[in-house]
Structure 1
Amino acid sequence: MTGLEPAPRSQRDGRPPSLRQWMAPAIPGSRLMGWLGPLLVTLFAGVLRFYDLGKPRAVIFDETYYAKDAYALLKFGYEHNTVKNADSLLLQHPPNLNIWADGGSFVAHPPAGKWLIAIGEWMFGMTPFGWRFASAVIGTLSVLILARVARRMTRSNLLGTAAGLLLALDGMQLVTSRTAILDIFVMFWILAGFACLVIDRDRTRAALAAKVMETGNESELGPFVMHWWRLAAGLCLGTAVATKWTGIYYIAAFGIMVLIWDIGARRAAGVRQPYAGGFLLDAVPAFVSLVVVSGITYLAWWSGWIFNAGGWGRGRVSGNPITAFVQAMPRLWNYHQQMWHFHTTLTVKHDYQSWPWNWMFLKRPVAFYYNEPSGCGASKCSREVLGIGTPAIWWVSIITLLVVAGWWLVQRDWRAGATVAGFLAGWLPWFYFGFGHRTMFLFYATPMLPFMVLSIVLVMGMLLGPADGLPLRRVFGAAACGAYVLLVLANFYFLYPILTGQIIPYDAWHSRMWFDSWI
C-alpha cells in the first residue's frame, strides 16, 4: 500500500474491499523482476514485429499515402504531390525517387506520425523496411510501457508482465506495428501520456501527504503540489493530436480524470475543503499541462509547413521567423478548416468500412494486402495481411470492460475508472461520426487496445486474489489465468500467417476466415 490508498477507509466503513486488495501485491524487493518480465515480453514483441518486416515487398493499403508523405517531409519539409505511378517507382531496385509532381499536397492528418515514419526512411532508405521501421519500434515500445504501467497500477509483477504479453499477442497491434500507417503512433502517444499521468498520481499523492504532515493541514484548501509528470503527459498527448485529431478526446477525458484524482487525493489527505482546493490549486495547472502544453506541441510539429514555402495553401514565407509564424497562423487555420470539412463529409463507400458498434465483435476487418502467388505446394495459394484483432482478447475484453465498469460504479476504484475512461475516449466519439455515415475502419480502434488489455488484467487480478488469500482460490485463479493466456497464444499463433503476409495454401487461408464478413 502507498500512503493515500482508499483501502483502509473502506475497511473502516464496511465497504467491500478495493480492487487493489483483491490483487497480489508486488513482492518486496522485486524491482529487478518488475523490469525483467516486461523487458522479456518486449523482446518477444520486437522479434514478432521486426521479423521479415520488409515483406511483403509492396505498398500496402494506406502506405501509399503515408510512406510518400513522410519522404516528402524529409525532402521539402511539407507534404508534396507525387506522380500517379509513384507506387511502382518505389518498388524498383533501387527505388526511383523521382516521384514528385508539382506543388504541395493537401493532407487529411497532421504531420507528427509521418515525421516519425520519415526517421526510418532516412535511416534505411525508401524501402518497405525503411517506411515500416518506426511503426515496429513504436509498437514494440508500447508493450514495455503497458507492462510497466499495469505493474504500477496493480503493484503486481505478474499482472504487469501479463499485460505486456497480451498486447504483444494482439493481431491488430501487430499489423499496425508492421505497416506505415498512423494509428499505432496515436496509440503509443496516448499510452505514454496515460503512463505519465499514473506516475504523476503516485508521486504527487505522496508529496501531498508529506506536506500535510509537515504543515499540520493549516490551509483549508491544502498545499500546492507541482505535477511535473503532467507536463510530460502534455507533450505526449499533443503529439498524439499532431498525429491524428482523435487524440483530442483523450485530452478531455484525462483532464476530467486527473481533476477527480486531485480532489480524491485532498480528501484522502484530510484537507478540509478538497473540492475547492482541487479546483483552485490543481485545475488551472492541469489545464496548462494538458491543454496549453499539448497545443504548443501540436504547433511545433507543423513547423516544416510553417517555415517553408510551397506547402498546401502556405504562400510566401518571410525571412524573419517571428513574422513567418504570425503570417502562417491564418493560413494554417484555413488549412484546418479544409481538413475538418474533409473528415466530416467523408462518406465514400469502402469495401472494408465498419462501424464503431461492430468493432469489438471484429465484424469487418480490413484486408491490408491480398494476392494469390505460387510457392506454397498447393494448386492455389493465398497471401494476406489482415487487419484484425486477436478474438480471444477482443471478445473477452467486452466482458472484462463491463466487469471493471461495474466495479468502478460500486467501489469507485481509480484503476477501474481510468481504464474505462481510456477505452470510452477512443470509442464513443466515433459513434457521432458513425451515425453520420462517415467512412471508418476497424483499425481506428487501435488506441483503445491498451485499455482493453488493462481491463483483462484487472479481472485476472480479481481472480487471483491477494497474495495472502485463500490458497485454493490462488490455485484456481492462477489456473484460470494461465489457461486464458495459453488460449490467447494459440489463437494468435493460428492467425499469425494472415497477419504477416505468409504464403499458405488457399484452404489454410480459408479455414482462418471464420465469418464471411472477414473475407
Structure 2
Amino acid sequence: MTEFVWRWRVTLMASIVGVVAAIMRFSSLGYPQALVFDEVFYARGAYSLMTLGYEGDWGGDNQDFANGDVSQLSTDADYVVHPNVGKLMISWGMEMFGPSAYGWRFMSAVVGVLTVLMIAFIARHLLRSTLWGAVAGLFLAVEGEHIVLSRTALLDIFLTFFVVAAMGLLVVDHHVTRRTLVRQSVAERERLGLGEGSLIPGRGPSLGIRWWRLAAIATFGLSISVKWNGLYFAAAFLVLSVIWDWYERRMLGWENWFGAGLVRAIPAFLATIVIMPLVYLASWIPWFRSDNSWGRHWAEDNPGEGLTWLPDSLNSLVHYHSQMWEFHRGLDSPHNYESNPWGWPLQIRPTAFYFEDVTDVDCGAERCVSAIHSIGHPLIWWVGAAVLLYALWRIVRHRDMLALTVTTGYLAAWLPWLPFAHRTIFTFYTVTMAPFLVLMVVWAMKRLAQPDRLRGAWWKPGVVICLVYVAAVLIVAGFFTPLWTGEPVPFRYWQLHMWLPSWV
C-alpha cells in the first residue's frame, strides 16, 4: 500500500509539473513567425548544418528565411563562434517540422520541459519530499527566463538542459555511493566490534567504477559542446561531488576521510580530462567531415604555422578556436540591452527579444503590441537574492551541506561573469541560473515551513507564508505570460509590466 501511494504521488507530481511546463512552452510556439533576437544566427545555422553539413553564409533579408525562403543560403563557409551541439539539436526540430518558427523552436521547448521535470525530481531527492519537488518543478515551469529561452532557438536553453542533467547524474551517483558507504561502514564496525560513535580506522571502501559520475562527466562535455561556459559548471559540480564524498565518509566515522576522498578523486579527475575533450571533439565531427567548413584547411594553406606536430585537421581546429577565443575576449561593442552581471540576481536589465506593433489583431485597444522580454519572474528572482545571502550564511556558520548543494549551480552560473562586466553580455544568460535559483528558493521555503527544531513537523505560520507566496508566484506568472510568449496585448498593458525604469 505504501509503495502504491508513493508511486501515485510521484506520478501526480510529474504529470502536473510536466503539463504546466508544456503549456507554457508549446502554446503558440510558432508565434511570431519571425527570427527573434539571436535566432538569426542559430536557426539559420542549424538549417545550414542540416542541409550542407556545415554552416554556410546567408544573404537576403532575415524575414525571407522566416517566411520559408531558404534560397539565400550559399556554399561559402560562415564564421561562427560557438560549437555545434545546440545548433544540431535545433536542426532536429526542423527535420521534423520544416524551416518554420515552430520547427526551429521545437527542440528548445522539448528540453525546456525536460529540464523542469529533472529539477522537480532533483528537488524531490534533495529535500526528501514529493511535495517540495512539485513546488520546485512548478516554479521553474512558470519562471520567465526559462520560458522565453524554451520558446526561442538560442543555445542557452540547451546548455541549461545538459548542466541540469549532469547535476542529476551526480545526485544519483551520490545516492548510490552513500548507500554503499553506509552498508560497508556498518559491516566494518561489526567486524571490528566498534561502537556507533567510535572512528573506523582506514580510508573506507573502494567504490569501483562509478558509472553515474562518468555519465555526468560525459554530459558536462556535451554542455561545453553547446557553449564553453559549461566548463564553469563542470568544475563546480565535480568539485562538489568530491566534497560530498568527504562529507559522507566523515559523517560515517572513517578516520582518514579526507585522504580517502582525495584518493578517490584522482580517477575522476583523470576520467574528466579524457572524456570531456573526447566528447567535445566528437561534437566537431560535422566540421571535420566537410571540406568547405570555415578554416577546415587552414593548416594546409599555412604550412609551418600553428601546432605543426598535430595532424593538419586538428591544427586547423586549434587555430579556429584561437580565433573564436579572440572574438569572445574582445566582444565589447555597445548594445541597447547589454547588462552588468552584478545586477543579474535582481534582473535589473532584462533583454528585449522582440517588440512589434500589431495591426492584424484586435486586442481591444487603439494600439496593440507583441513583445517578448526575457524578464525573470520578479517574485522568484528577488526572493532568491535574499535566499542566497541566507544560504551563504548557513554554509559559513553551520557548514550546511544542503545549502552548499543548492547554491553551487547558481554561483557557477553567475560568479564567472563578474570579471567580464565590461563586455557585451546579456541578462538572458541567467537562464542557466534559473533551475538552481528555484532549488534555493524551495529549500528556504521548506526550512520555513518545516524548521529543524520541529524535526520535520509543519510550522503553521511558515506554511501560511509559503502558501501565500506560491499563490503570488502563480498570479504574477499569469500577469507576465503575454510578455514571455509574445501574445498581442494593448500597449498600456505592456507598460504596466515595466516595473523598473531599466526594464523599458
* Shared fold per TM-score greater than 0.5: yes
- 1:107 corresponding residue in structure 2: 80
* Alignment-mate amino acid for residue 157 of structure 1: T
Structure 1 residue runs without a partner (length 5+): 1-25, 319-324
Q: Secondary structure at the match of 1:372?
A: strand
- Equivalent-residue separation in structure 1 for 2:185 and 2:331 (angstroms): 54
- 1:12 corresponding residue in structure 2: none
The alpha carbon displacement at 1:75 in A equals 1.3
- Equivalent-residue separation in structure 2 for 1:515 and 1:468 (angstroms): 39
Identity of aligned residues (%): 38
Which of the numbers 370, 383, 390 marks the counterpart of 1:383? Answer: 370
Which of the numbers 237, 241, 244 marks the counterpart of 1:261? Answer: 244
For residues 99-498 of structure 1, what are the structure 2 equivalents within 5 Å?
Answer: 99-215=72-188, 216=191, 220-225=202-207, 226-280=209-263, 282-315=264-297, 326-374=311-359, 375-434=362-421, 437-465=422-450, 469=454, 474-498=459-483
- Equivalent-residue separation in structure 2 for 1:507 and 1:513 (angstroms): 10
- 1:90 corresponding residue in structure 2: 65
Relative to 1, partners in 2 of residues 1:317 and 1:357: Cα closer, same or farther, differing over 3 Å?
A: closer
- What whole-Å deviation, never above 9, does each CA across 1:2-61 have from its counterpart, x for those lacking one? xxxxxxxxxxxxxxxxxxxxxxxx999624313321331111110111011000111110
- What whole-Å deviation, never above 9, does each CA across 1:403-427 have from its counterpart, x for those lacking one? 1221122222222101222111110
Q: Secondary structure at the match of 2:364?
A: coil
- What whole-Å deviation, never above 9, does each CA across 1:169-209 have from its counterpart, x for those lacking one? 11111000000001111111111111111111111011122
Q: Secondary structure at the match of 1:383?
A: strand
* Alignment-mate amino acid for residue 297 of structure 1: V
- 1:64 corresponding residue in structure 2: 40
Q: Secondary structure at the match of 1:30?
A: helix
Relative to 1, partners in 2 of residues 1:66 and 1:289: Cα closer, same or farther, differing over 3 Å?
A: same
The alpha carbon displacement at 1:329 in A equals 1.3
- Of 116-125 and 205-214, more deviation after overlay is shown by 205-214
Is the 2:166–2:220 contact (alpha carbons within 8 Å) kept by the matching residues of 1?
A: yes
TM normalised by structure 2 equals 0.91
- Equivalent-residue separation in structure 1 for 2:273 and 2:439 (angstroms): 26
Q: Secondary structure at the match of 1:428?
A: helix
Q: Secondary structure at the match of 2:353?
A: strand
* Alignment-mate amino acid for residue 264 of structure 1: Y
- Higher relative contact order, structure no. (Cα contacts within 8 Å, ≥ 6 residues apart): 1
Relative to 1, partners in 2 of residues 1:287 and 1:476: Cα closer, same or farther, differing over 3 Å?
A: same
* Alignment-mate amino acid for residue 299 of structure 1: L
- What whole-Å deviation, never above 9, does each CA across 1:410-461 have from its counterpart, x for those lacking one? 2222221012221111101101111xx1100001111111111111111111
Relative to 1, partners in 2 of residues 1:414 and 1:223: Cα closer, same or farther, differing over 3 Å?
A: same
The alpha carbon displacement at 1:518 in A equals 1.2
Q: Secondary structure at the match of 1:121?
A: helix
Q: Secondary structure at the match of 1:110?
A: coil
Relative to 1, partners in 2 of residues 1:310 and 1:210: Cα closer, same or farther, differing over 3 Å?
A: same
- Equivalent-residue separation in structure 2 for 1:472 and 1:409 (angstroms): 26
Q: Secondary structure at the match of 2:317?
A: helix
- Of 195-204 and 368-377, more deviation after overlay is shown by 368-377
The alpha carbon displacement at 1:108 in A equals 1.3
* Alignment-mate amino acid for residue 518 of structure 1: W
- Equivalent-residue separation in structure 1 for 2:10 and 2:457 (angstroms): 26
* Alignment-mate amino acid for residue 452 of structure 1: L
Relative to 1, partners in 2 of residues 1:408 and 1:253: Cα closer, same or farther, differing over 3 Å?
A: same
Which of the numbers 13, 36, 47 marks the counterpart of 2:12? Answer: 36
Structure 2 residue runs without a partner (length 5+): 193-199, 301-309
Q: Secondary structure at the match of 2:18?
A: helix
Is the 1:233–1:289 contact (alpha carbons within 8 Å) kept by the matching residues of 2?
A: no
- Equivalent-residue separation in structure 1 for 2:313 and 2:45 (angstroms): 21
The alpha carbon displacement at 1:289 in A equals 4.2
- Equivalent-residue separation in structure 1 for 2:98 and 2:87 (angstroms): 15
The alpha carbon displacement at 1:213 in A equals 3.7
